[in-house]
Structure 1
């Protein structure tokens, strides 16, 4: 079976002219930043191949755990490292929260994220999208007599994630959790398409042959995009036809998310379809992997699980009626455990920005067009930022902060600003409900080796190294 498996008081400075944005530590003055800049350190770069030879020949390099390699680079070269990869813009990686705060500030007016080129091309090749790339360019039945899961939990959580995202974004039940569904049903096709969509997007991101000819992975991406487009387009048209009737029947009702989007005069029908296509796979895969991590950490730490259980008993008791917003707001310890889960085993290694102007930082110049990657997945494990960084301590996130103040940019799982994760609120709500409902009925126990994850743009639970929970 597969694995169950306030900005600180320092403040934000006023922006200098865009061509000379400057930042550094307290020892670096503005005048010094404007002087001749130093060469950004990093591993040796060769013509054509860039840093590939240096990276691949390093005994500590593991593509499935690239964050560990980046951590080594920071130890060797300092908090800012320059990398050059074939066919990619110059890349700079950062791990100091103050530097990440500065980059977010410098790019707040026009935050551009790089990557997802294969998805952009797949949409450009489909006339439906009109050359637009989009903005992202039941468990109890599955246990044995000893209470162990007997089926693939990741598969179950993928279906659950897809159902919840569909219910919120498309206002419909897909029905993918029905075990009697035939493999060729629309629900199963849609479920597979959502999974293939993200997998193929990420695989293409790490390779380049799809740019020369349509590889098998790129063709699968195109097919999954076609299936999701047909489902979302048809569903939204059917839903839009009923808006007027619903408004007539209840003129004082509040519009849900999908209705607000469909009635927005600045958005076309295809814009909304594109938004939904981005939300479905991204929300499904991220929520699946984060759910596995969250449940795993609670199973491994019974003291924290007991505190969550106490909170669930106090706020919800045995009441299985729909959880209200007021009740969710009272789940403060669950909120803290989720934040600690993100810090210790983050959903992604970090976030990036393609610089639209030159930026000066620590006496270095980061040039327009460079890809700046802010590795909060590394800073989240930095002892200078988080005492006892390897320990699961949800209490550090409670209001009294017993382990000291936390820099708001030291752990940033959803990014920040106008380009933060579009599904953050949906994701958090579903995670609170998942944990609350699970611990209303079950105790969690882990009976296997430690959770293993592989990295491919985002972290994924390793399905081959799985054990029952």
Structure 2
């Protein structure tokens, strides 16, 4: 898979999350020549970020001071904020487009400073991204989710400093990851619910004609339909029950509202000028905290129901929630933050990956035809439920999804 790509597209601009946290790319031999070019290593607060730009004035392997990282003009206290807000293309709701334009203006590595926040380095060279991912695989730093940590550190149901995989760093992140990865990655869990997952997918397809616009095309907010499908699917594997997102049940609509509000509030906090929510409860922070409290209560209710069932009888098939509840070393608070992160991260990854895969296939009809041919050969008319045996015979389909993940991975 590493040397094969079904979509001839260039890598997307990506944010090097936490690139200015303590990290040494030099110790893994990153500061070496690459294809005849001299790597530029930029060190900021003990961190090396790399770019493939040639620079004859700097010996290979030597770091440069952080002040030399290019980027918009920086002011004392205000950082890059004045320069960003003065841009004609400035739009917090479409901040990724601003990042993309900055990469064109300043090159494959640039720096932004925001008031009240640590400086951040953005990288867009696919090789640099690979180096960063490999170097931080076991101890990633995720400053994008510090608003979650703040809210959870003030929750009566969550232990301070143990706020979950999304927001914790270092040893605490690794402790929770090490304990939750085995149940989360069990193929048997997915295999058991595969017929139900297939049924949900069929219901989603049957629903599509109802959401087409006046031109008989997918609406501009089609991602929200994928969002509902993803949440309904995750509800099966996590809680062994249907939430009702595709049928617009009261519970389904309520869960969708909560998660929409939470994600919108989190985004508002992260792009809020000056990050004032760190010091005062801004409207964006209050909305985010309120939505998080609702998701917390919903997840706690699911945990209580699962614990009751486990105590009253022997459960034949353990879902994800059952398995983490029975995992030694995990407290009830650990289970709470993990299940909330599972829902948030799962919805983002499943819906976004599906959307980008569909986009890639639409842009490359010859690849779509090849994928359709493979599906027809393996699944036939689609009258029987999908099994793991079917999935094992779909290498090209899997390749398309993996290539999408390489190009446009989800935020969470």
TM range (shorter): 0.5 to 0.7
Query: Is 1:158–1:284's contact at 8 Å kept on the other side of the alignment?
Result: yes
User: What's the offset of the Cα at 1:7?
Assistant: 7.7
- 1:50 paired to 2:79: yes
Q: 1:40 touches 1:82 (CA, 8 Å); kept in 2?
A: no
Q: Is the 8 A contact 1:200 1:218 kept in 2?
A: yes
* Pairing of 1:36-185 with structure 2 (within 5 A): 37-38=64-65, 39-43=67-71, 44-59=73-88, 63-131=92-160, 132-137=162-167, 138-141=204-207, 143=209, 148=216, 153-179=222-248, 181=249, 185=250
Residue 270 of structure 1: how far off its partner (Å)? 1.9
CA contact (8 A) 1:289 1:347 kept: yes
Distance 1:36 1:176 in 2: 52
Q: What residue is the counterpart of 1:25 in the other structure? A: 32
TM (norm. structure 1) is 0.60
Aligned residue pairs, count: 328
Residues 133 and 332 of structure 1, relative CA distance in 2, 3 Å threshold:
same
**8 Å contact from structure 1 (residues 194, 284) kept in 2:** no
1:177 match: secondary structure: coil
2:267 matched residue in structure 1? 202
User: 3-state SS of the aligned residue for 1:127?
Assistant: coil
8 Å Cα contact 1:116-1:202 kept in structure 2: no
Per the TM alignment, residue 306 of structure 1 is displaced from its structure 2 partner at its CA by 2.4
Distance 1:287 1:35, change over 3 A: closer
SS in structure 2 of the partner of residue 168 of structure 1: helix
Q: Give the Cα separation in 2 of the matches to 1:325 and 1:202.
A: 37
**1:57 Cα shift?**
3.6
Q: Larger relative CO (CA 8 A, sep 6+): 1 or 2?
A: 1
Q: For residues 280 and 68 of structure 1, do their structure 2 counterparts lie closer, same or farther at Cα, with a shift above 3 Å needed? A: closer
TM-score (norm 2): 0.67
Q: Deviations over 1:349-387 (max 9, x none)?
A: xxxxxxxxxxxxxxxxxxxxxxxxxxxxxxxxxxxxxxx
Match of 2:144, SS state, is coil
RMSD: 3.6
Residue 20 of structure 1 deviates from its aligned partner by 6.9
CA 1:293–1:78 in 2, change beyond 3 Å: closer, same or farther?
A: closer
More helix by percentage: 2
Q: Give ranges in structure 2 of 5+ residues lacking alignment.
A: 4-22, 42-57, 168-203
Cα distance, 1:124–1:92 mapped onto 2, change above 3 Å: same
Quick one: structure 1 residues 210 and 329, their matched pair in 2 at CA, closer, same or farther if it must change by over 3 Å?
same
In structure 2, the residue matched to 1:232 is 299
Give the conservation status (yes or no) of the 8 Å contact 1:198–1:282: no
Q: Is the contact made by 2:230 and 2:351 (CA closer than 8 Å) also made in structure 1?
A: yes
| 1:121 CA drift (Å) | 1.9
The CA distance in 2 between the partners of 1:297 and 1:304, in whole Å, is 9
